Structure 1
Amino acid sequence: MAEIDISGDDDDPDVNVSASGSRLPSFLGTRLVILAIVVGVLYLVRPLIHGIVYATLYTPSGLVLFGGTAVTALVLWFLPPWRLERDEKRRSMVSVLFEDDESPAGDVLASSGSAMRKLRIFGGIVTVLFVLSVLVGIPAGALEQRTLAQQTMADATELDEFPQANANNPRVVPREVSDVTTRGSVSYRTHRLGASDIARQEDGSLAWSYPIEPDGARNKLLENQRGVLVANMTSMDEQQITVYEADFTHGEGMWLHRSARWNVKLGGYLSKYNDEAVEFSHDGQPYLYYPKTGHEWHLLPLPHTTPKWNGGALVHPDGTIEHLTPEQAQENEILDGQRLYPMTLTRSEMGSLGYREGIINQLPVVGAHEGQIEVAALPEGANNEQPFVIDLEGERMSYVTAMEPYGEDTRGLDEVWLADAETGEYTFFGTDEETLTGPERAMGIARNEDSQTGWGDNFVVTEPVPVTVDGDLWWHIKVAPTDYTDVTRNVFVNADANNAIELSDDTAIREFIRGDIDEDELTAGENGTDVQPAPDGEDVLYYVLITNDNGEVVDRIPVKAGQDTQIVAPGDERATDNETAN
């Protein structure tokens, strides 16, 4: 038996540590076996702890807190237990490690006391690590935003004018209306429609897509996803619903090891899956695609990380999962035309632009806020969030983010950013000294266009989405009843001139986005006219309203499909070019 005796005064009592090495190998071996079992179980269920592991590897605060906690736990786990005894005569503390001549009861008491002391030590260290993680995370978070803003600005291209929207794929049907009408058109006893998302159909049009996932605890454990349902979003006259049925081996709404998200994490553990799955079809077969986000470390000036695109995981109905790099995803025939770039990554990159002029510049009190921008806030009832998904000419899906100047009272747009949904390439349009109308004011203008409607009681304006027509930015807003059972009309508000036009016909909407209807000649600000929809007219697309200086309507002229219209300003002998309503 080895004995260590350390003597001291009353304030530092003698400490006698008596230990035997005969039981130490057995103790360490037992602890090692138990640890191996725990690690094995955690490995089998590793998708459940994916968030903690990823945060440990790719965030400075997570590395300090979770990494430090793991190391502390391991050290205390393998540290042999000790029993404390006080010898009053010698006023010393005796710590006995595995004394062979002690009774089993004594060993139990020793282990119990040692465990409690270890727990107190563990709690104290974890508290310190938590404080350190906060202190580390604050500067690391600011540096992450600054570096991400620099990377985003360096890779972006400034535009001279807005790219043209795809007139064949307008977002006519808002999500809420699609959710209500689609769920009211299908009937499943054991399944339900999952969360809706935007995907491209095989004919090139955009649609709201839904996974047909199991419903109820029993079915989530035993049943499979039955396929994908898509509802066309580009037509308000007739809802087109298509179902692509197939039993997914790994799908949405399936629990634990049967779920698609569980299995994509198994094959791509060093990535995050923050985005919802994109549900779509190819050659009549349904598929799921999960965008992947990764991180990279930067050591200077202080260690921090920034997110990046890691590709995506393509899930086949038979359970095959392809983990693709960004280049492989863009070249994959099945994924052609779909959204590949993580939308949550775009949201993070856009949010970081407030730091592009430096960390100090954006700080409260001491910051000058020069050139600082922030993501434009959407008003209550907008029922969507940025970035917006729109389709540009050539069937190029894009994420659009409207940015406003920093400030509590600023609601006008300063810049508009577009991210290619397939490549992640950024372009942006700066308004320079001119400020464009934001979504909040645009929704107010849309309400003011029709003062006879019972806004809030019977109808709402919803889902403002930016569209670009002939180099101009417009807010495309929908009008729907409060129960979201239909779309009554679409309103377009010019972000520059604040002119508004209401259309209730699919053909007219496409013609307007294509630029075949010149709204500048049909507004009160230009020639004393306004536009009013004609939902009850058999062939009428809209009415031209002639108003006086007081805004009172003095004439109402119907415009039919194929009819030439000519507007002449009062006192102007020149006529405008003929415009044909199609």
Structure 2
Amino acid sequence: MIPDLSGRFETVSTGPHLAKRIALLVAACGLLYVLRPLVHGLVYPIVYSPTGLLVGGVTILVAVGLWLAPPLRTEGRDVDGGSLGLFLSDSAVLKLYLVGTIFGITVLIGFLYSVPAGMVAEATLADRTMSDSEPIDGFPEINADNPRIVPRAVADVQTRGSTSYRTHRLGPSDIARAEDGTLAWSYAIEPDGPRNKLLSNQRGVLLSDMTRMENRSITAYDDQQFAVGEGMYLQRGADWNLKSTDFLTRYYDDAVEFTHNGTAYMYYPKTGHEWQLTPIPHTVPVWDGGALISPDGTITHLTPQQAQENEILEGQRLYPLYNTEREMGSLGFRNGIINQLPVVGAHENEVEVAELPAGAGNNQPFVIDLDGERMSYVTAMEPYGEDSRGLDEIFFVDATTGESRYFASEGETLTGPERAMGIVRSADSQTGWGDNFVVVEPVPVFINDELWWHSKVVPTDNTDISRNVFVNADSGEAVSLMTTEAVQSFLAGEDVDDEQVETEPAPDSEGVDYYIVITDSNGQEIERIPVGPDENPTIEYVPASQTAENSSAP
């Protein structure tokens, strides 16, 4: 309960009191401005979040008002300041109590308001996403020259094992385009250790080719000192300088590290928020452009249009992954809020992002390269329901422009990524799954207007790539490829040499009930014989010296 303050203020000389308090307030605001990157996570929600505005805005106004107000009389009042009483007057303790009370009340109100505001925000975002998305009748063509062959975990192990920096380390990996047009896992070469993070500089960037199984190139541009970079503390770090130079935006995505004409750069996609006042006040995320950091520390803030027109950024990912994740996650609300509610909702045409099993090694949206070297964020959607794992729709968001397209299966059942990974394991009963090898990183690819799931089989220590396996989302056919050339030929829809490909019917193929697997004394598979539902074969051992004629049963 808020105390009645009428008549509780002491009589003071207003002019000197206000002058002193305003001077201290201005000094505090000046200090916060200098240190503004430290409070960015608190200030931004106050400006672009209904709950943040309610809680933070009201609390700040009350705190400032009480700071400027005269001291409160505490005679006859039981004011227990606890340990604060050792340092603050009874009036200051009482004012802090009032601020804390207001804060608690606004937090409760803000929490209650955030529930409907959050649902309205999701519905607004879903409507906007669908209205801006173009339906397509077929799948776009894949860039067969840029397959995602090397999983992130394998690239991290191989790349870190191939570099030797005593005072630096490789930062988190991300996907960028190399200067020759191929896709690569990119890393910032960051200072390592507290002392180096405080005094040393980012040493450049490193690109690890993801498009080949063998003869992969790892190129380090490690002779370029970044004046502002990753892994550098406080005012020397990229995070500090980005927030200092453009405060009212969000940097949710990791940096895209790449090179242009031999010079290393880093690009940070920016996410802003837009207020919507109806039906109730709420905000939705929007693309706010990006920031380009050069080795000399120059930060160029770009609008979306400027980013797309920038020669240095040509071919790179510009649109925030965060925005795509939010847009795809909101599509369950596209038929209204009530439709998706747990008890009263009809869940008509409701979709959700297809789940990936634990250990898959990647998340949606998938980043793939389409024809013409246009990177795209691809999201597979499945119908609502705990047991629904077939695909319903696939969305394509252009990583350069943010434009969205989607393919609807129109009731046709397409295998999702989780089931595709299961088919890979089922098609090879000889591999020690989980103990020696795992299936990782399924990504969608499109061959002759058909959807295939491209997974990789790797050892559990992520030191190499055993093979690439493609599973047809329609028929369930599994194709195992052992070389880069075979993968590229397969993606291009060309014939693949028999020595490079191994095909097997899907475990649930029509007309196949089970397989008879013949192995040698070492457990290696010799032959796999499909058996139909109505077939009842018998297995009989016949010595090689016995003819087929006298081996028949009596």
Q: Flag the 1:317–1:133 CA change in 2: closer, same or farther, 3 A.
A: same
Residue 547 of structure 1, CA deviation = 4.1
The equivalent of 2:292 in structure 1 is 314
Mark the CA change 1:430 to 1:77 in structure 2 (over 3 Å): closer, same or farther.
Answer: same
Aligned counterpart, 1:46: 36
Cα deviation 1:75-100 (Å, max 9, x = unaligned): 111111133335xxxxxx9xxxxxxx
Partner deviation per Cα, 1:432-465 (whole Å, 9 max, x = no partner): 1112111111111000111001000000011111
- Is residue 428 of structure 1 aligned with residue 413 of structure 2? no
TM-superposed CA distance for 1:242, in Å, is 0.4
What residue is the counterpart of 1:345 in the other structure?
323
Distance 1:276 1:125 in 2: 37
Matched, 1:147 2:135: no
Offset, 1:309: 0.4
Pairing 1:362–2:352 present: no
Q: Does 1:496 align with 2:486?
A: no
The equivalent of 2:212 in structure 1 is 235
Query: Alpha carbons of 1:241 and 1:118: their partners in 2 closer, same or farther (altered >3 Å)?
Result: same
Where does residue 112 of structure 2 map in the other structure? 135
Asked whether 1:30 is paired with 2:6, we answer no
* 1:25 CA displacement: 2.3
For the residues of structure 2 that align with 1:462 and 1:507, how far apart are their CA atoms? 21
d(CA) in 1 for partners of 2:474, 2:14: 79
Query: CA separation in 2, counterparts of 1:110 and 1:478?
Result: 63
TM-score w.r.t. length of structure 2 = 0.87
Distance 2:529 2:99 in 1: 78
Q: Which amino acid aligns with 1:77?
A: W
Give CA deviations for 1:104-136 in whole Å, capped at 9, x if unaligned: xxxx99972211211221111111110111122
* Deviations 1:24-81, CA, capped at 9 Å, x for gaps: 3222222112111111110001011112111011110010011111111101111111
Q: What pairs up with 1:343-422 in 2 under 5 angstroms?
A: 343-422=321-400
Opposite residue 382 of structure 1, the aligned amino acid is: A
Which has a greater percent of strand? 1
CA apart distance, 1:546: 7.7
Q: Mark the CA change 1:113 to 1:446 in structure 2 (over 3 Å): closer, same or farther.
A: same
Q: 1:478 aligns with which of 456, 460, 463?
A: 456
Match of 1:262 in 2: 240
In structure 2, the CA distance between the partners of 1:527 and 1:206, relative to structure 1 (3 Å rule), is: farther
Q: Residue 276 in 1 paired to residue 254 in 2?
A: yes
- Mapped partners of 2:9, 2:480: distance in 1: 90
Distance 1:78 1:482, change over 3 A: same
Q: Distance in 1 between matches of 2:378 and 2:206?
A: 26
Cα distance between partner residues in 2 of 1:79 and 1:424: 50
> For residue 578 of structure 1, what is the aligned residue in structure 2?
none
Q: Structure 2 counterpart of 1:403, which letter?
A: M
Select the residue among 148, 151, 154 that pairs with 1:177: 154
Task: Please tell me the residue identity of whatever aligns with 2:141.
Answer: Q
Return closer, same or farther for 1:544/1:473 CA change in 2, 3 Å cut-off.
farther
2:80 is matched with none
Task: Give the CA deviation at 1:164.
Answer: 1.2
Distance 1:109 1:197 in 2: 52
Number of residue pairs the alignment of both structures matches: 508
Residue 191 of structure 1 corresponds to 168
Which residue in the other structure is 2:428 paired with? 450
TM norm structure 1: 0.83
Question: 1: CA distance between counterparts of 2:114 and 2:133?
Answer: 28
Consecutive unaligned residues of structure 1, counting only runs of 5 or more, are 1-11, 87-92, 94-107, 531-542, 553-582
- Whole-angstrom CA distance in 2 between matches of 1:18 and 1:330: 59
Identity %: 57
**Per the alignment, do residues 42 and 288 of structure 1 end up closer, same or farther by CA in structure 2, a change over 3 Å counting?**
same
Q: 1:202 aligns with which of 176, 179, 183?
A: 179
Hey, what does 2:303 align to over in structure 1? Answer: 325
CA 1:174–1:80 in 2, change beyond 3 Å: closer, same or farther?
same
1:517 is displaced (CA, Å) by 2.9
**How far did residue 255 of structure 1 move?**
1.0
Give the counterpart letter for 2:447 in structure 1. V
- Does structure 1 conserve the Cα–Cα contact (< 8 Å) formed by 2:442 and 2:456? yes
- The one-letter code sitting in structure 2 at the alignment partner of 1:270 is L
Deviations 1:187-217 (A, max 9, x none): 0010000000000000000000000000001
- How far did residue 19 of structure 1 move? 5.1
What is aligned with 1:84? 74
Counterpart secondary structure, 1:408: coil
- State how far apart, in whole Å, the 2-side matches of 1:20 and 1:147 are: 52
| Structure showing greater Rg | 1
Greater RCO structure (CA 8 Å; 6+ sep): 2
C-alpha displacement at 1:220, in angstroms? 0.5
Deviations 1:366-419, CA, capped at 9 Å, x for gaps: 111001000011101101000000001111100000101111111111111110
Partner of 1:576: none
Distance in 1 between residues matched to 2:8 and 2:337, nearest whole Å: 54
Counterpart of 1:437 in structure 2 is: 415
Q: Distance in 2 between matches of 1:140 and 1:77?
A: 32
Unaligned 5+ segments in structure 2 are 78-84, 516-524, 538-554
SS in 2 for 1:189: coil
Query: How far, CA to CA, are the matches of 1:110 and 1:248 in structure 2?
Result: 45
Cα distance change on mapping 1:34 and 1:44 into 2, 3 Å = same
Contact 1:522–1:544, Cα closer than 8 Å, also in 2: no
Aligned-pair distance for 1:161?
A: 0.8
Counterpart CA distance in 1 for 2:32 and 2:239 is: 17
Give me the whole-angstrom Cα distance separating, in 1, the residues matched to 2:65 and 2:8: 19
Whether the 8 Å contact between 1:314 and 1:323 is mirrored in structure 2 is yes
- Measured in 2, the distance between the counterparts of 1:413 and 1:547 equals 31
Q: 1:38 to 1:450 in 2, by over 3 A?
A: same
Distance 1:19 1:406, change over 3 A: closer
RMSD, matched Cα: 2.7
The answer to whether the 8 Å contact 1:84/1:110 transfers is no
Name the amino acid aligned to 2:342: P
Partners of 1:455 and 1:17 in 2: CA distance: 75
Cα deviation, residue 267, structure 1: 1.8
Distance 1:521 1:509 in 2: 12
Contact 1:400 1:417 in 2 (8 A): yes
C-alpha distance in structure 2 between counterparts of 1:109 and 1:210, whole Å: 51
Does the residue aligned with 2:242 lie in a helix, a strand or coil?
A: helix
Write out per-residue CA displacement over residues 127-149 of structure 1, whole angstroms, 9 at most, x where no aligned residue.
11101111221111111100100
Q: Deviations over 1:133-174 (max 9, x none)?
A: 112211111111001001100010111111111110000000
Where 1:368 maps in the other structure, the secondary structure is coil
Query: CA 1:317/1:80 → structure 2, altered by over 3 Å: closer, same or farther?
Result: same
